[in-house]
Structure 1
Amino acid sequence: MAEFAVYSGDLLVGHSDLEQGDAPMGVAFGVFKPLDAYAEIREICVENHADQSALELSVRTEAGAVIPCAGVGILDCPAADEASYIEVNILGIPYPLYEQLFPQHVASYEKRTS
C-alpha cells in the first residue's frame, strides 16, 4: 500500500496510507501519522473541523504529485489521555485518477455491489 504525504502549504506535516475510501464519492481517508511539524497547525486542526482552508492542506503521492481534489481535512480529536486518533480525509478525487490511486477501494466497492 502506498504512503501519501500531507502538507500544509509547503510544510510536510505527516503521512497516511489512506487505507479507507468511498469510491463513488471520490473520498479516501485513513490514520494520520503526524511529524513534528504538525505541532505548528495542530491547535487549528483540533479546534476547527469545519473549515481548514487557511491551512492550505494538500496530499501528495509517493512521486510528489499533488492529488487534485475538492478538499483535505485533518480530524484531530484528542482524548483525555492524549492517545488521540487523528484522521486525514481527502474529498472529491476525480475519476479515473481515484481508481489509479486506490484500486483496492474500487475493488471493495464493486465486490459489495455485485
Structure 2
Amino acid sequence: MTEKIYKILLDDKLLGTTKLEYGDPPMGVVFGQINFAEKSIGYDFIKQYCIDKLIEIQTDYPSDKLISTGQIANLKVYNPENLELVGIGNNIEGMDSDKYTITILGLDSEIYEKEFPKHIAEYEQKFNS
C-alpha cells in the first residue's frame, strides 16, 4: 500500500505536503511532518503570517526559531483525490533546526476511518496485545 501525500495550502497557495503519518483516532487528530514547497518557508515566514493575520502564537522562542500557532483558518489540507480534510482547526508547530508539523484537530469519525485506517489499526492493536 502506497503512502498518501496530502497537499497543504495556505491562502490557496501551495505551502507544502505531508503524509499525516501520526494520529490519535479517539480524538480525531492527525498530524505529520511538513515538507515545505519552498526553502524560504520557516519560522520567520510563519511568525510574520500570524502577525499579519492576527493569528494566536501559542509558543514563540525567537532565539531557537521555534513557534507553535493557534488555529489557522486559511490553512487547508487536501487528500490525493483533492478533497479537503475538514476538522475543527489546523495549526503548525516546529523549529527551523528540526522539522515542522501540521495538526488537524477534530476530524469526523467517518472521514478518519476512510483516510486513516492504519492509525485506527495501530491504536486498536495497543489495547488488543
Same fold (TM over 0.5): yes
The secondary structure found in structure 2 opposite 1:66 is coil
- Structure 1 segments, 4+ long, off by >3 Å, are 45-48
Match status 1:108 vs 2:122: yes
Match status 1:90 vs 2:104: yes
What value does the CA root-mean-square deviation take over the aligned residues?
A: 2.3
Q: Percent same amino acid among aligned pairs?
A: 28
Hey, what does 1:36 align to over in structure 2?
38
Match status 1:57 vs 2:59: no
Length-normalised TM-score, structure 1? 0.83
Q: Following TM superposition, by how much is the alpha carbon of 1:51 offset from its aligned partner in structure 2, in angstroms?
A: 2.1
Q: Distance in 2 between matches of 1:38 and 1:95?
A: 36
Structure 1 residue runs without a partner (length 5+): none
The answer (yes or no) to whether the contact 2:29–2:107 under 8 Å persists in 1 is: yes
Who wins on radius of gyration, i.e. which is larger? 2
Q: Following TM superposition, by how much is the alpha carbon of 1:10 offset from its aligned partner in structure 2, in angstroms?
A: 0.5
Hey, what does 1:18 align to over in structure 2?
20
Q: Distance in 1 between matches of 2:32 and 2:127?
A: 22
Q: How many residues end up aligned between the 2 structures? A: 109
Which sits farther off after the overlay, 22-31 or 69-78? 69-78
Match status 1:78 vs 2:80: no
Q: Following TM superposition, by how much is the alpha carbon of 1:111 offset from its aligned partner in structure 2, in angstroms?
A: 0.7
The answer (yes or no) to whether the contact 1:14–1:38 under 8 Å persists in 2 is: no
Alpha carbons of structure 1 residues 65 and 39: separation in structure 2 relative to 1, 3 Å: same
Alpha carbons of structure 1 residues 89 and 73: separation in structure 2 relative to 1, 3 Å: same
Q: Distance in 2 between matches of 1:28 and 1:20?
A: 6
The secondary structure found in structure 1 opposite 2:20 is coil
Q: Distance in 1 between matches of 2:40 and 2:77?
A: 14
